[in-house]
């Protein structure tokens, strides 16, 4: 029932598909802002009413995480992503015919947003199924889709708008989003063929059934909880600086195009930083302690924000944008990799859904809180200080807690080896030593790509994922 | 006997390429500590000279330089005079060429920021023989005008009749002038061709990917970069396969 992930071969095609899917999921809600002014005029709404379209889309994409996870647990990544692509397409095509802002909320925000949710999570999940030794690189490359797609979609949207108007653009964007189906087609199921749900004894079924669809036992998993708390905290300060970078620049007297260029600098540094971080994170020095590297990049990001108020001229802001892009890329490249590292690829399917729905709240709260700070004090620096402080705090929290976690895991590992020596069990699993690293957690099991869980395998799985009950 | 100070100003201007306006104060009640020139709320220049005479160079009289200029003598209390620089309306279009989709509403916008402000806006459609005046308040045309901005909204754009050039005329005390705005109507189906093209691309790619996969299926061997592992059996119908993989097992 276990197999070795290929760490290459068709895996690179999967990475490319994930690149596209992830790219659309993150970049699309931001890129459609180009159409907002026109739609605002046509429907006669205020700017904040229009901005809700993006917020609803983002909220649905993150909030739909658990549903995405359940569906992937049941059907595998490929059908879910293809269906997601169809939803995105249908959503945008319908949006082209909308006659009110409410209809736009539904078509663009909810339908397409949910389609993106069905793209984002399965893409990240399937990387974990195809890669193990090179997983950080694969994650870094796939996550680079976001800045690349944003860089491409922004001018493309402007071009479409100039030539076809907003309705024609939405129509064409609907077709473009159908390319997520192409990405989905690349997500070839791996391992053994999916079975229909196997017949289990009634007792087993009751015990494992709900957990099979969404693994709530994760909330007792020490590593998962550490990740969850740290990330929820981090997201309070993660996105606000990007939202306010251009307005801050204009506030300092910089012209509109130079202000927009700062975001381009950020995106370019970001797209280089992500795969590079993946490579570094994959190296034999960093990978065993990848959680420290992750904590460091969060704190680094926070430090950038804390120092930003010191930048008073355009040059200062350019420097800030470069370092911000670097920090942002580093964090994003490892965002899912570290979760996989903590819970293992199998439980990751459920973990990613649970994490995204909880993060959903803070992601949505971050920019408005920042905006309130700016309006109250009339000064951007408090927003930067708040974001920087929150992220440094999150980074420190994760660093300390993961130090504790690493020690506990090492201790549990020693205990487990000791009991193994005394056990005669021909199903026991040996730890793998490879390049001097030891990580025993990563046996590939289960999920619909492989066999569904049975009770005995459940027990084995618990053993493999570490004695992770807190 | 106290008399109020009198400020004499140079005459109001409506034309000129090298215009200088000036103010002259007679019988100031207190020492003059400086001067200031303002246009509306904006301070143009200021100085600390004590002279009874102050000038400001406008240069060319045009839409931008037109307005209400105030010269202020910094006495106690300050005393000021006003010079009006007036022109015929200087009208510009927000966009020289507007686009609209068939069936949608097209919006043409003109603005005029010169002084004195516009008292009346009128719109015309340019036609080969005589320009056709556009009447406000019909189902088809709605004109919204407000001092320095005028909007012409054309409902249900017709690709045959509506495209072309429109004139917005602005009138004030000194006369009338206008600007030309072009309107282009996109066919409703304009977006259809790229749409179909992309959908075709998606279908072709998906088909190719699935065909490629089916053809590889019988003898599929997953590449395994860490050599030495046995190939996986792909999609075996028998899920009871006891192919337990162990790495570096003894």
Nearest by CB: B205 against A182, A188, A190? A182
Q: Chain A residues with CB inside 8 Å of B196's CB?
A: 175
pLDDT tier at A131 (50, 70, 90 boundaries)? very high
Q: Chain B residues with CB inside 8 Å of A2's CB?
A: 244-246
d(CA A123, CA A14) in angstroms, rounded, equals: 8
Any CB–CB contact under 8 A between B247 and chain A? Answer: yes
Say what percent of chain A tops pLDDT 70.
85
Q: Chain B residues with CB inside 8 Å of A162's CB?
A: 99
Q: Chain B residues with CB inside 8 Å of A176's CB?
A: 198
Location of structure tokens 């609803």:
A56
Contact at CB, B107 and A41, closer than 8 angstroms: yes
d(CA A304, CA A318) in angstroms, rounded, equals: 12
**Alpha carbon of A290 to those of A221, A297, A466, B13: distances in Å?**
18, 11, 17, 75
pLDDT tier at A425 (50, 70, 90 boundaries)? low
What pTM did the predictor assign?
0.71
Q: Chain B residues with CB inside 8 Å of A190's CB?
A: 222
Residues 100-129 of chain B with CB under 8 A from chain A are 100-101, 104-105, 107
Asked if the model's pLDDT at residue A456 lies above 60, the reply is: no
d(CA A141, CA A279) in angstroms, rounded, equals: 9
Contact at CB, B224 and A6, closer than 8 angstroms: yes
Contact at CB, A192 and B235, closer than 8 angstroms: yes
What pLDDT is attached to residue A468?
A: 39
Radius of gyration of chain B (CA): 37
Interface size between A and B, measured as CB pairs under 8 A: 111
Any CB–CB contact under 8 A between B228 and chain A? Answer: no
Beta-strand runs (E) in A232-381: none
**Alpha carbon of A430 to those of A154, A409, A460: distances in Å?**
50, 16, 12
Q: Chain B residue closest to A197 (CA)?
A: B239
Q: Chain A residue closest to B198 (CA)?
A: A175
Q: Chain B residues with CB inside 8 Å of A4's CB?
A: 224, 226, 229, 232, 245, 247
Specify which residues A190 forms β-bridges with.
Answer: none
**Beta carbons of A152 and A26 less than 8 angstroms apart:** no
Q: Which residues of A touch B (CB under 8 A)?
A: 1-4, 6-10, 41-42, 96, 133, 162-165, 167-169, 171-172, 174-176, 178-179, 181-182, 185-186, 188, 190-193, 195, 198, 427, 429-430, 432-433, 451
Contact at CB, B195 and A164, closer than 8 angstroms: no
Average pLDDT over every residue of A413-436: 65
Q: Over the stretch A21-44, which tens digit does the pLDDT of each residue have?
A: 999 999 998 888 888 888 887 888
Specify which residues B101 forms β-bridges with.
Answer: B186
Contact at CB, B105 and A42, closer than 8 angstroms: yes
Which of residues A1 and B195 earns the better pLDDT score? B195
Q: How far is A67 from chain B (nearest CA, A)?
A: 25
Contact at CB, B222 and A10, closer than 8 angstroms: yes
Nearest by CB: B225 against A7, A164, A169? A7
Contact at CB, A174 and B195, closer than 8 angstroms: yes
Average pLDDT over every residue of A232-254: 86
pLDDT tier at A379 (50, 70, 90 boundaries)? confident
Contact at CB, A193 and B235, closer than 8 angstroms: yes
Q: Residue A27, Cα to own-chain centre: how many angstroms?
A: 12
Which of residues B194 and A446 earns the better pLDDT score? B194
d(CA B68, CA B37) in angstroms, rounded, equals: 11
From the number of C-beta atoms within 10 Å of its C-beta (0-12, 13-18, 19+), residue B159 rates as middle
DSSP letters for B181-201: EEEEEE-TTTTHHHHHHHHHH
Q: Chain B residues with CB inside 8 Å of A451's CB?
A: 239
Q: Which residues contact A228 (CB under 8 A, 6 or more apart)?
A: A354, A355, A358
Which of residues A17 and A158 earns the better pLDDT score? A17
Residues 67-106 of chain B with CB under 8 A from chain A are 99-101, 104-105
Residues A196-231 as b/e (b if ≥16 CB within 10 A, e otherwise) read eeeebeeebeeebeebbbbbeebeebbbbbbbbebb
d(CA A75, CA A125) in angstroms, rounded, equals: 13
Location of structure tokens 């749409």:
B195
Contact at CB, B101 and A167, closer than 8 angstroms: yes
Q: Chain B residue closest to A184 (CA)?
A: B206
What pLDDT is attached to residue A426?
A: 55
d(CA B57, CA A300) in angstroms, rounded, equals: 55
Which of residues A239 and A411 earns the better pLDDT score? A411
Residue to substitute from A192, A420, A442, A446, interface B, most B β-carbons within 10 A:
A192
Asked if the model's pLDDT at residue A443 lies above 80, the reply is: no
Contact at CB, B209 and A165, closer than 8 angstroms: no
Contact at CB, A10 and B225, closer than 8 angstroms: no
DSSP-derived 3-state class of residue B73: strand
Location of structure tokens 């996989």:
A340
| H or E element that contains B111 | strand B106-112
Nearest by CB: B232 against A3, A167, A198? A3
ipTM of the complex: 0.77
d(CA A141, CA A273) in angstroms, rounded, equals: 10
Among A151, A126, A174, A157, residue whose Cα is nearest residue A16:
A126
Q: How far is A230 from chain B (nearest CA, A)?
A: 34
- Please state, as a whole number, how many other Cβ atoms lie within 10 Å of the Cβ of residue A60: 22
Any CB–CB contact under 8 A between B178 and chain A? Answer: no
Asked if the model's pLDDT at residue A459 lies above 70, the reply is: no
Asked if the model's pLDDT at residue A119 lies above 90, the reply is: yes
Mean per-residue pLDDT over chain A, rounded: 83
Q: How far is B71 from chain A (nearest CA, A)?
A: 29
**Alpha carbon of A18 to those of A146, A184, A231, A333, B127: distances in Å?**
10, 8, 22, 13, 56
Contact at CB, A430 and B250, closer than 8 angstroms: yes
Any CB–CB contact under 8 A between B248 and chain A? Answer: yes
DSSP-derived 3-state class of residue A275: helix
What pLDDT is attached to residue A466?
A: 43
Q: How far is B19 from chain A (nearest CA, A)?
A: 32
Question: B3 phi and psi, to 5 degrees?
Answer: -115, 145
What pLDDT is attached to residue A103?
A: 93
Asked if the model's pLDDT at residue A448 lies above 60, the reply is: no
pLDDT in tens, chain B (250 residues): 456 778 888 888 888 899 999 999 888 888 888 999 999 888 999 889 888 888 899 888 888 888 999 999 988 888 889 999 998 889 998 888 888 888 888 889 999 988 888 888 999 998 888 888 888 888 889 998 888 899 999 988 888 888 899 999 999 888 899 899 999 888 878 889 999 999 999 999 999 999 998 888 654 444 433 333 444 444 444 444 444 444 444 3
Among A125, A107, A105, A126, residue whose Cα is nearest residue A45:
A105
What pLDDT is attached to residue A176?
A: 96
Contact at CB, A185 and B236, closer than 8 angstroms: no
Contact at CB, A182 and B209, closer than 8 angstroms: yes
Contact at CB, B206 and A181, closer than 8 angstroms: yes
Q: Chain B residue closest to A430 (CA)?
A: B249
Query: What sign does the dihedral A285-A143-A37-A117 (CA atoms) show?
Result: negative
| H or E element that contains A147 | helix A145-177
User: Residue A366 is encoded by which pair of tokens?
Assistant: 């971050």
Q: Chain B residues with CB inside 8 Å of A96's CB?
A: 191
Q: Chain A residues with CB inside 8 Å of B101's CB?
A: 164-165, 167-168
């Amino acid at each position: 029932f276990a197999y070795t992930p290929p760490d290459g071969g068709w895996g690179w095609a999967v990475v490319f598909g994930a690149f596209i899917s992830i790219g659309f999921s993150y970049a699309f809600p931001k890129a459609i802002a180009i159409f907002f002014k026109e739609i605002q005029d046509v429907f006669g709404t205020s700017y904040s009413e229009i901005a809700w379209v993006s917020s609803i889309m983002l909220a649905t994409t993150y909030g739909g995480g658990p549903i995405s996870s359940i569906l992937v647990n049941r059907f595998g990544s490929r059908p879910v992503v293809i269906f997601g692509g169809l939803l995105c397409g249908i959503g945008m095509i319908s949006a082209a015919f909308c006659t009110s802002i409410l209809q736009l909320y539904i078509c663009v925000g909810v339908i397409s947003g949910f389609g993106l949710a069905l793209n984002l999570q399965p893409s990240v999940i399937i990387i974990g199924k195809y890669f193990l030794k090179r997983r950080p690189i694969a994650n870094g490359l796939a996550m680079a889709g976001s800045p690349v797609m944003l860089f491409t979609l922004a001018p493309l949207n402007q071009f479409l708008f100039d030539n076809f108007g907003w309705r024609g653009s939405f129509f064409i964007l609907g077709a473009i989003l159908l390319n997520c189906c192409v990405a989905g087609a690349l997500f070839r199921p791996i391992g053994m063929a999916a079975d229909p749900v196997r017949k289990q004894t009634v007792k087993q079924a009751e015990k494992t059934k709900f957990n099979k669809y969404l693994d709530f036992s994760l909330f007792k998993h020490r590593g998962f909880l550490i990740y969850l708390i740290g990330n929820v905290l981090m997201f309070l300060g993660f996105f606000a600086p990007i939202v306010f970078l251009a307005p801050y620049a204009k506030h300092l007297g910089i012209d509109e195009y130079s202000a927009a260029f700062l975001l381009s600098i950020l995106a370019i540094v970001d797209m280089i930083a992500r795969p590079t971080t993946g490579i570094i994170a994959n190296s034999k020095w960093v990978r065993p302690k990848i959680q420290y590297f992750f904590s460091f990049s969060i704190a680094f990001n926070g430090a950038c924000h804390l120092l930003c108020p010191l930048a008073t001229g355009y040059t200062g802001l350019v420097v800030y944008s470069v370092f911000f892009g670097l920090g942002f890329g580093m964090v994003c490249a490892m965002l899912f990799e570290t979760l996989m590292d903590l819970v293992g690829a199998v439980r990751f399917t459920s973990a990613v859904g649970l994490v995204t729905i909880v993060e959903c709240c803070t992601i949505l709260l971050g920019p408005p809180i920042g905006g309130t700070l700016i309006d109250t004090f009339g000064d951007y620096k408090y927003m930067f200080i708040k974001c920087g402080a929150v992220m440094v705090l999150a980074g420190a929290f994760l660093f300390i807690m993961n130090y504790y976690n690493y020690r506990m895991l090492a201790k549990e590992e020693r205990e487990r080896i000791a009991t193994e020596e005394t056990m005669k069990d021909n199903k026991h699993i040996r730890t793998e030593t490879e390049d001097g690293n030891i990580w025993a957690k990563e046996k590939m099991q289960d999920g619909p790509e492989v066999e569904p869980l049975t009770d005995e395998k459940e027990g084995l799985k618990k053993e493999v994922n570490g004695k992770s009950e807190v | 006997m106290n008399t109020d100070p009198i400020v004499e100003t140079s005459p109001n201007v409506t034309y000129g390429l090298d215009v200088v306006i000036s103010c002259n104060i007679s019988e100031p009640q207190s020492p003059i500590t400086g001067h200031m020139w303002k246009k509306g709320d904006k301070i143009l220049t200021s100085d600390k000279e004590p002279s009874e005479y102050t000038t400001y160079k406008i240069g060319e009289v045009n839409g931008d330089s037109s307005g209400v200029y105030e010269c202020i003598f910094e006495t106690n209390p300050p005393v000021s005079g006003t010079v009006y620089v007036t022109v015929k309306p200087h009208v510009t279009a927000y966009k020289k060429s507007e686009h609209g989709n068939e069936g949608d509403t097209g919006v043409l916008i003109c603005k005029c920021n010169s002084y004195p402000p516009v008292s009346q806006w009128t719109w015309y459609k340019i036609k080969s023989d005589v320009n056709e005046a556009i009447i406000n308040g019909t189902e088809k045309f709605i004109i919204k005008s407000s001092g320095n901005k005028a909007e012409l909204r054309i409902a249900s754009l017709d690709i045959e009749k509506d495209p072309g050039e429109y004139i917005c005329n602005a009138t004030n005390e000194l006369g009338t002038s206008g600007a030309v705005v072009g309107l282009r109507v996109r066919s409703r189906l304009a977006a259809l061709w790229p749409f179909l093209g992309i959908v075709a691309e998606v279908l072709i790619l998906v088909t190719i990917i699935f065909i490629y996969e089916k053809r590889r299926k019988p003898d599929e061997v997953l590449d395994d970069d860490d050599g030495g592992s046995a190939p996986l059996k792909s999609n075996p119908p028998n899920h009871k396969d006891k192919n337990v993989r162990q790495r570096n097992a003894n």
